[in-house]
Amino acid sequence: MIYYDITKMGAAKQRSGLTRVSSRLREEFGGTITEVAWKGELRGFVSGQTQTPVIFSPADWLLTVELFSEAERPGFWDFVRTPPCRLAAMFYDAIPLRWPHITWPKSVQRHPEYMKMLAGFDRVWAISEASRHDLTGFWRWQGATLRAQVDLIELGADFDGSHRVQRDALISTGRPALLCVGIVEPRKNQAFLLDVAEALWRDGLDFDLHVVGRVNPHYGEPVADRMQKLERAEPRLRFHRATGDHELSRLYAKARAVVFPTVAEGCGLPLLEALWRGVPCVSSDLPVLREITDGGGCLVARVNDLPDWTEKLRTVLTDDTENRRLQTAAMARPLPRWTETAATLRRALTSA
pLDDT tens profile 8-66: 876 655 567 788 899 899 999 988 999 999 999 999 999 988 889 999 999 999 999 99
Mutual orientation of helices 306-318 and 190-202 as an angle, nearest 10°?
60
CA angle 89, 94, 100 (to 5 degrees): 140
DSSP codes, 48-99 = TTT-PBP---TT-EEEE-S---TTTSTTHHHHHHS-SSEEEEEE---HHHH-
The yes/no answer on whether domain 177-332 falls in CATH 3.40.50.2000 is yes
pLDDT of the residue at 11 = 62
Kindly provide the b/e burial profile for residues 289-320, where b requires at least 16 CB atoms within 10 angstroms of the residue's own CB: bbbbbebbbbbbbebeeeebbbebbbbbbeee
CA angle 255, 260, 262 (to 5 degrees): 160
pLDDT by position in tens, the chain (length 352): 999 999 987 665 556 778 889 989 999 998 899 999 999 999 999 998 888 999 999 999 999 999 999 999 999 999 999 999 999 999 999 999 999 998 888 889 999 999 999 999 999 999 999 999 999 999 999 998 888 899 999 999 997 777 787 776 656 567 999 999 999 999 999 999 999 999 999 999 999 999 999 999 889 999 999 999 999 999 999 999 878 878 888 999 899 999 999 999 999 999 999 999 999 999 999 999 999 999 999 999 999 999 999 999 999 999 999 999 999 999 999 999 999 999 999 999 998 7
pLDDT of the residue at 164 = 82
Q: Under 8 Å CB-to-CB from 343, ≥6 apart: which residues?
A: 28
Q: Which residue, 135, 33, 115, is CA-closest to 345?
A: 33
Asked if 2-156+337-351 and 177-332 have one fold, the answer is yes
pLDDT of the residue at 165 = 77
DSSP run (H or E) holding 134: helix 129-142
Instruction: Please list the residues that pair with 89 across neighbouring strands.
Output: 64, 124
Q: CA torsion 43→49→54→56, rounded to 10°?
A: -130
Q: Provide the residue ranges of all domains of the chain, joining segments of one domain with +.
A: 2-156+337-351, 177-332
CA angle 298, 294, 342 (to 5 degrees): 95
**How far apart (Å, rounded) are the C-alpha atoms in residues 183 and 193?**
14
Q: Determine the residue type at 208.
A: D
pLDDT of the residue at 20 = 85
pLDDT of the residue at 14 = 59
Question: Could you say which of 1.20.1600.10, 3.40.50.2000, 3.40.50.300, 3.20.20.70 is the CATH number of the domain covering 2-156+337-351?
Answer: 3.40.50.2000
- φ/ψ (deg, to 5) at 205: -75, 135
CA distances to 5, 41, 74 from 78, in Å: 17, 14, 9
CA angle 151, 279, 343 (to 5 degrees): 30
**For the sheet containing 298-301, what is the strand order?**
237-240, 208-212, 177-181, 257-260, 281-284, 298-301
What DSSP state is assigned to residue 155?
P
Is the full-model pTM beyond 0.95? no
| Cβ atoms 45, 39 nearer than 8 A | yes
**For the sheet containing 34-39, what is the strand order?**
44-47, 34-39, 2-5, 61-64, 86-91, 123-126, 149-152
Q: CA torsion 342→270→125→350, rounded to 10°?
A: 0
pLDDT of the residue at 41 = 92
